[in-house]
C-alpha cells in the first residue's frame, strides 16, 4: 500500500506544507513537476487517440509510458523529500552530516534532471501533438522548465548553506550541467503568435 505525503489529498498536502516548522521546498517542487508531467502524458495520450493515422502507436505509447515513469519517479522524490530533514538530522546526530547533506542535494538534482527530461520529451513531441491539446502541451513544458529551475535554485541554496569543498566539487558540475540543459528548453512565451 502506498505511503507518504503524496497519499494525502491536495488540500491535506497544502495544509501540511504550510503548517511545518521547516520549508518543504523540495517536496513542493517535486509534486508540481509530477503534476506537469501528468499533463504532458495526457497530451501525448490524447494526441495518440485523436491522430491514429499520424502517430505510430508504439512510438506514442512509448513516449506516454516514458512520461508516466518520470511522473512516478517525481512522486517518489516528493515522498522522499518530505522526510529528508528528519533523515538529515538523524544522520547528523550519527556523525554522518556529509551523508545527510548529500541526501538534501541529491533530491533537487534529480528533480531538476527529471523535469528537464520530461520537458525535452515534450519538445520532441511538439510536431506530433494534436491541435486539440497543443496549448496544454506548451503549458506542461513551461511548468516543467519552471520546476527544473526551482529545483536548481534549491540545490544552489543548499550549496550556499553548506559551502564545504566536498559538496561543491560534487554538485557544482551537476548544477552547471543542469543549467546548460535548461538553457536548451524552448517554452513558448505566447500561445497566440
- What is the tens place of the pLDDT at every residue in 77-109? 999 998 988 898 899 999 999 999 999 999 999
- What is the torsional sign of CA 1, 109, 187, 82? positive
For residue 28, give the CATH number of its domain: 1.20.120.680
C-alpha grid cell for residue 56? 505510430
What burial letters (b/e) apply to 50-81, b meaning 16+ CB within 10 Å?
Answer: eeeeebeeeebeebbebbbebbebbbebbbbb
pLDDT of residue 2: 56
**Measured distance CA(103)–CA(91) in Å, rounded:** 10
What ranges make up the beta strands (E) of the chain? none
- Domain span including residue 170: 14-183
- On whether residue 190 sits in a domain, the answer given is no
- On whether residue 62 sits in a domain, the answer given is yes
φ, ψ (nearest 5 deg) of residue 95: 80, 15
Which helix (H) or strand (E) is 114 found in, with range?
A: helix 97-125
Q: Report how many domains make up the chain.
A: 1
Using a pLDDT cut of 70, give the percent of the chain over it. 97
Confidence of residue 44 (pLDDT cuts 50, 70, 90): very high
pTM metric for this prediction: 0.94
- Average pLDDT over the chain, rounded to an integer: 93
- On whether residue 170 sits in a domain, the answer given is yes
pLDDT tens for each residue of 144-179: 999 999 999 999 999 999 999 999 999 999 999 999
Amino acid at each position: 500500500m502506498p505511503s507518504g505525503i503524496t497519499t494525502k489529498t491536495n488540500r491535506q498536502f497544502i495544509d501540511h506544507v504550510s503548517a511545518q516548522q521547516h520549508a518543504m521546498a523540495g517536496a513542493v517542487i517535486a509534486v508540481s513537476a509530477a503534476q506537469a508531467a501528468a499533463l504532458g502524458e495526457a497530451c501525448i495520450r490524447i494526441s495518440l487517440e485523436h491522430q491514429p493515422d499520424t502517430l505510430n502507436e508504439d512510438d506514442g505509447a512509448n513516449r506516454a509510458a516514458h512520461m508516466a515513469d518520470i511522473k512516478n519517479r517525481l512522486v517518489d522524490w516528493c515522498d522522499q523529500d518530505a522526510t529528508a530533514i528528519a533523515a538529515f538530522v538523524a544522520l547528523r546526530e550519527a556523525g554522518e552530516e556529509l551523508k545527510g547533506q548529500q541526501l538534501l542535494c541529491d533530491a533537487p538534482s534529480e528533480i531538476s534532471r527529471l523535469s528537464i527530461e520530461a520537458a525535452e520529451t515534450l519538445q520532441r513531441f511538439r510536431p506530433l501533438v494534436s491541435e486539440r491539446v497543443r496549448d496544454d502541451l506548451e503549458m506542461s513544458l513551461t511548468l516543467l522548465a519552471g520546476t527544473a529551475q526551482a529545483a536548481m535554485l534549491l540545490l544552489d541554496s543548499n550549496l550556499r548553506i553548506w559551502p564545504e569543498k566536498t559538496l561543491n566539487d560534487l554538485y557544482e558540475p551537476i548544477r552547471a550541467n543542469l543549467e546548460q540543459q535548461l538553457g536548451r528548453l524552448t517554452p513558448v512565451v505566447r500561445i497566440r503568435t
